[in-house]
Structure 1
Amino acid sequence: MTMHKTAQVSIDAMIDDLRALVETESPSHHPGALRASAHAVAAVVERRLGGRAVLVESEAGPHVHWAAGGDPKVLILGHHDTVFPLGTLARRPFKAEDGRATGPGVFDMLGGLVQAVHGLATLDDRSGVEILVTADEEVGSHSSRTLIEERALACGAVLVVEGAADGGALKTGRKGCGTFQVSIKGRASHAGLEPEAGVNALIEAAHQVVDIASLGRPGIGTTVTPTVASAGTQSNVVPAEATVVVDVRVESAGEKERIESAFAALAPHLEGAEITVDGSIHRPPMPESASAELMAVAEQLMPGLEGTAVGGGSDGNFTAALGVPTLDGLGAVGGGAHADHEYVLIDAMAERARLVAGLVNAIQTA
């Protein structure tokens, strides 16, 4: 099984569509911008594939859903929200030059969306294909998770068009990930006159950071990383409150349970201090077994293609946890996600569009 090299994919048309999406800024938590972005995504889908793309309203912003009709067989999954604030485009406008497309969100993950749409456009038969482009992946997919899981179960196979891993590898496994916030309540007092009368929330936070960091087990893929801390109001006041935010990544369900139990069991070191813990590992691990069947097909379509497990999470974590075959990293080849040097390799776009088309065709005819 190999891809049809003659499938017509226009690089110029893909660049035009990518420009349209990038130039419609779409930061998470900005309903107005996300609404405009959803309309832009829907317009690209309808222009290239026909039919009607439906905007699914949510508190996060509109998700975009398109279905070709027929019995559901495969879900193309992506998101249109990005991490860059409004105004980034003025500082870093879209460009396509020297073999690279650049601009906010071009790699994560607007390039992948464009490739998938243009790949599907080469297929005469699109029956059973659905596209879901969500508005809140970058901030946890809280409003879209139910819809993602519903359509994944209905379709029975999921192709996630997040950007490829280093070197163009597909993403065959992902760690589960989550965020915890540890809030500490102490008691304020004058730092010079009677510091002993207070309960120093900053000192308690320091104890907690050491305890929390010790939960990591890098040897088995568990990382527990305190990332943001805050405490205090004035230089002469014993801090009454402090917070510590922690990023957690795990490779197994057992580690998810251990870490969540450990956070629930955190106890104060200082007499009079109180601790409250919020959060969870909300994206379950995506085991490599979930991608094995589809990865084998991808390797037949593109000999030499590699797969790798990565630490970052995506909406593919949710679908894989349901037992739905899921293959990730089918989007743009490039790099710099969430950074100013974000880019897409233009020469790889047509090949990756054809890869998506080949996978869809293989699923349809299986």
Structure 2
Amino acid sequence: MDPLAWTDARLPEFIRDLEALVCLESPSRDLEGLSHCASFLKEAFSPLGRVEERLLATGPLLRFSRPGREGRLLLLLHYDTVHPKGAFSFRVEGDVAVGPGVYDMKGSFIQLLYALRFLEEQGVSHPSLTALFTPDEEIGSLESRPFIEEEARSADWVLVLEPPTPEGDLKVARKGVGLYRLRALGRAAHQGVEPEKGVNAILELAHQVLKVMTLEDRTRGTTLGPNRIQGGTATNVVAEEAVLEIDLRAWTLEEAQRVEAGLKALRPVLEGARLELSGGLNRPPMEPTPESLALFEKARAIGRRLGLELRPGRVGGGSDGNFTAALAPTLDGLGLFGRDAHQRTEGVYLNQIPHRVALLALLLSEL
């Protein structure tokens, strides 16, 4: 039986399982919600392989493994979401299932569950498989990253079950993400009595923002966002300290390193002011390689057999695939097709679920 028809016949059951997982709300850092969600996943996947649990400060990290033929495949999924509890609830609106995290990316867990059930029921082989279910992707994967990289070093392929692009395409490239904190230190003084004795840290940062933006190069896709600034204590006190938070996005490591060097080279404009820079590259760029593009072509050929015309997508947001791209051939965007990630209208298209389950099942079996 082909996986498209197999999944289509089980779509009502799939939706029930999807609702059960989405209703276990699991915002990042909500240890209780994350633990309930991890317990659900552990119970669901245990019949199909071995599930090991490691408790991190950010929540349980689950490692699912299933033996197979030669070759080692790593799958990456996260079950934390950006939505606070009670923001909105699961519901079906026409052909869209809406709910917190249903698209990014709880639907991917049910997709993988059904793909594995199909392979087992049909007796179809696949490479040895490991999947990491992580609790902290939406907040940078700081605790999960070492485990992800360790697994990727011994993997032949990495599949990331993040959502596809808004057009339904897979992802072969992602921008690197840098988070920097520029702190200006001045000298406090009474604004009315002796302002000349002060050094205004906010004014210093105003000068620095313009310098920071000269490092941006949109022709290369390199953007800088000086998107948060704070400082000072009272309106009648010359601001002694101010902090600027900067978001960097770049397609290549070379560009990210160029910008970081420029940030480190910043010097104060006001006499008596000092600057301190902290932070760095949170996620390196996910740059395509010949091997990762060959992996995409494999998925594209399978997609065509299912009536999907998949293109190689490039996106500005980061994922755990950013960590693995330099370690093993990585293909991203293999999750369910839907809409509006991180919004209250976030949803997945029900009529596309069989196609995405079939795509994943066939890719697992044909690698």
TM-score by length of 1: 0.92
Q: Is the 8 A contact 1:182 1:275 kept in 2?
A: yes
SS of alignment partner, residue 166 of structure 1:
coil
2:38 is matched with which residue? 38
Match of 1:107 in 2: 103
One-letter identity of the residue aligned with 1:30: D
Q: Give the Å deviation of 1:227.
A: 1.1
Provide, for residues 243-295 of structure 1, a one-character-per-residue CA deviation record: whole Å limited to 9, x for no partner. 11111111112112111211222211111212111111121111122530111
What does residue range 78-157 of structure 1 map to in structure 2 within 5 Å?
78-88=77-87, 92-123=88-119, 124=123, 125-126=125-126, 128-157=128-157
Contact 2:3–2:354 under 8 Å retained in 1: no
The equivalent residue for 1:263 is: 263
**Does the Cα contact within 8 Å between 2:201 and 2:240 map onto a contact in 1?**
yes
Q: Which residue number in structure 2 is paired with residue 348 of structure 1?
A: 352
Contact kept, 8 Å, 1:180 with 1:277, in 2: the verdict is: yes
1:93-135: CA deviation from partner (whole Å, max 9, x where unpaired): 1112311111111111111222122112211335511211111
Paired residues in the alignment total 355
Structure 2 letter corresponding to 1:68? R
**Which residue matches 1:54?**
52
CA distance in 2, matches of 1:113, 1:212: 41
Q: Which runs of 5+ in 2 are unaligned?
A: none
Please point out which of 307, 312, 315 is paired with 2:312: 307
* 8 Å CA contact 1:68, 1:126 repeated in 2: no
Deviation at 1:72, TM superposition (A): 5.6
Separation of aligned partners in 1, 2:4 and 2:57: 42
Aligned to 1:25: 25
Q: State the Cα RMSD in Å.
A: 1.7
What pairs up with 1:183-202 in 2 under 5 angstroms? Answer: 183-202=183-202
Contact 1:120 1:356 (8 Å CA) reproduced: no
Asked whether the 8 Å contact 2:232–2:241 carries over to 1, the reply is yes
In the TM superposition, residue 4 of structure 1 has moved relative to its aligned partner by 4.8
Distance 1:335 1:344 in 2: 6
1:66 counterpart residue number: 64
Whether the aligned pair in 2 keeps the contact of 1:288 and 1:309 (CA below 8 Å) is: no
CA distance in 2, matches of 1:54, 1:265: 46
**Match of 1:302, SS?**
helix
Q: State the identity %.
A: 40
Q: Secondary structure at the match of 1:233?
A: coil
Aligned-partner residue type, residue 76 of structure 2 = L
Q: In structure 2, how many angstroms separate the alpha carbons of the residues matched to 1:29 and 1:240?
A: 33
1:293 and 2:294 are equivalent in the alignment: yes
Task: Indicate conservation of the 8 Å contact 2:3/2:357, yes or no.
Answer: no
Asked if structure 2 preserves the Cα contact closer than 8 Å seen for 1:169 and 1:306, the reply is yes
How far apart are the structure 1 equivalents of 2:260 and 2:42?
39
Q: 1:6 to 1:99 in 2, by over 3 A?
A: closer
Letter in 1 for 2:33: A
Q: Name the stretch that deviates more: 160-169 or 37-46.
A: 37-46
Residue segments in structure 1 that go unaligned for 5+ positions in a row:
none
Superposed displacement of residue 202, structure 1: 0.8
3-state SS of paired residue (2:325): helix
Cα distance in 1 for partners of 2:60, 2:141 equals: 12
Give the conservation status (yes or no) of the 8 Å contact 2:107–2:336: yes
What is the CA distance between 1:228 and its match in structure 2? 0.9
Once the two structures are superposed, what CA deviation does each residue of 1:18-58 show, in whole Å capped at 9, x if it has no partner?
21221112111222222222112222323xx5233221221
Could you tell me how far 1:195 is from its partner in structure 2?
1.6
> Partners of 2:13 and 2:262 in 1: how far apart?
52
Letter in 1 for 2:74: L
